[in-house]
Chain A
Amino acid sequence: MEPMTDLFHALASGFTEQVYLVLTRAQGILWSLADILIVFAFLKIADLARGKGKGKRILYRYLFLGLSACLTPLLLLCRTSRDFFLLECIICGIQFSILLYSLIAEWKNILDFLGDGICDHRTR
């Protein structure tokens, strides 16, 4: 376990907050872009389900998602980990709120939409 202990000692002295912030900005951009894509894909699937049931199109949630997308590049400008955390709370908060609200609001539509395919398959 000596090499492991040496590695941990090196990290304890060398992995400073400045190094952490550089890596955090890079990782933060990557996972935020993935989150935007996840929420967008989910909203598109929900729109498909609404369309089949002749419901209205989703609008405001796309706008809020667009807002979170506009805030995402600001992660690169954060100078402290505290600023990064606060901005990430806002961005993730918007995206998770959209996902949670959509999951609850579109639940029946999506289950009916996916369930239709099962019924069609079984009656063939």
Chain B
Amino acid sequence: MSVFTLAQVMALFWTLAEGLILIGLGRVLFLIGGKRKRSPVCDAGGVLGFVLAFLILFHGESLLGGILDLQRAPCLTFYRWALWNFFCTLWVVLEGVIMIVVFRIFRILRFRESPAGPDSCRIPKGSSWTIPLLVLSLFGLYAFYQIQVARMMDADRLTVQGIYHLSLFYIRICGVFWILFEWTVALIGVRTFVLLKGRHGSSPWNR
């Protein structure tokens, strides 16, 4: 298996894994938040998104070759790296949403037995825009970056190596977000475990 094919397979695997984790955490949030119904639109959207991701990853060049001039090396390089950068952005978005969901779960678990009552663990007004804002901001950053590179390709005849270097830099921007979001989830995860252990007593194996 070539590195290129491995990258395609891992892109799908990571997207599927994070998507399933997000769905699972969303279900937990629904349960402990007192809601029982899950939106079928979200599930259908997730399945459709995954199918689209598969088609674009493995058949995108043949499907879009007629529209984009992928015969030229700079265009093909830009397309392939823009696609990889899209998936990097998607993983940042998924992890960002996971971070918000995990924080909401922790908030509910922490405050549901507080003297203020169950209302104290409701999501504050205005914070329902957090997830859409996060998604739009991150995909907006991706769009801005790729448009800037495309403009430079048209205007300044950016070389293949220049496109490659710019794409590598974008991946490192995503890396900053990965670190930020994953450490936040990690610390909330540890606090959640400490909270649950304190509420429900020690595990039989920790005596």
Contacting pair B186 A11 (CB below 8 A): no
**Contact residues in A for B182 (Cβ distance below 8 Å):** 31, 34-35, 38
How far, in whole Å, are A15 and B172 apart by their CA atoms in the complex? Answer: 11
Tell me whether B58 is interfacial, beta carbon within 8 Å.
Answer: no
- Given A37-B189, A38-B185, A85-B3, A13 and B14 touching (CB < 8 A)? no
Among B74-133, those with CB < 8 Å from A are 109, 112-113, 118
Contacting pair B28 A93 (CB below 8 A): no
Size bracket, chain B contacts: 35 or more
Contacting pair B185 A45 (CB below 8 A): no
Among B163-183, those with CB < 8 Å from A are 163, 165-166, 168-169, 171-172, 175-176, 178-179, 182-183
How far, in whole Å, are A82 and B4 apart by their CA atoms in the complex? Answer: 10
**Contact residues in B for A11 (Cβ distance below 8 Å):** 165-166, 169
CB B123 to nearest CB in A, in angstroms, measures 17
Tell me whether A79 is interfacial, beta carbon within 8 Å.
Answer: no
- Given A57-B205, A103-B24, A23 and B196 touching (CB < 8 A)? no
Contacting pair A8 B166 (CB below 8 A): yes
Contacting pair A42 B172 (CB below 8 A): no
Q: Which of A31, A42, A52, A100 contacts B175 (CB 8 A)?
A: A31
Q: Which of A5, A12, A121 contacts B113 (CB 8 A)?
A: A121
Instruction: Produce 1/0 per residue, A83-124, CB < 8 A to B.
Output: 001100100110010011001000100110111011001000
Tell me whether A78 is interfacial, beta carbon within 8 Å.
Answer: no
Contacting pair A117 B193 (CB below 8 A): no
How far, in whole Å, are A100 and B13 apart by their CA atoms in the complex? Answer: 11
Q: Which of A17, A96, A117 contacts B14 (CB 8 A)?
A: A96
Size bracket, chain A contacts: 35 or more
15 examples of A-B residue contacts, CB within 8 angstroms: A12-B163, A20-B168, A27-B176, A41-B190, A41-B193, A45-B189, A45-B196, A47-B203, A51-B205, A86-B6, A100-B17, A103-B20, A117-B32, A118-B31, A118-B34
B residues apposed to A, CB below 8 Å: 3, 6-7, 10, 13-14, 17-18, 20-21, 24, 28, 31-32, 34, 109, 112-113, 118, 148-149, 152, 156, 158-159, 161-163, 165-166, 168-169, 171-172, 175-176, 178-179, 182-183, 185-187, 189-190, 192-193, 196-197, 199-200, 203-205
A residues apposed to B, CB below 8 Å: 4-5, 8-9, 11-17, 20, 23-24, 27-28, 30-31, 34-35, 37-38, 41-42, 44-45, 47-48, 51-52, 54, 57, 82, 85-86, 89, 92-93, 96, 99-100, 103, 107, 110-111, 113-115, 117-118, 121
Given contacts A23-B172, A48-B200, 19 further A-B contacts (CB under 8 A): A4-B148, A5-B152, A8-B166, A11-B166, A15-B166, A15-B169, A20-B169, A24-B175, A31-B179, A35-B182, A37-B189, A44-B197, A48-B196, A93-B13, A99-B21, A107-B24, A111-B31, A113-B196, A121-B113
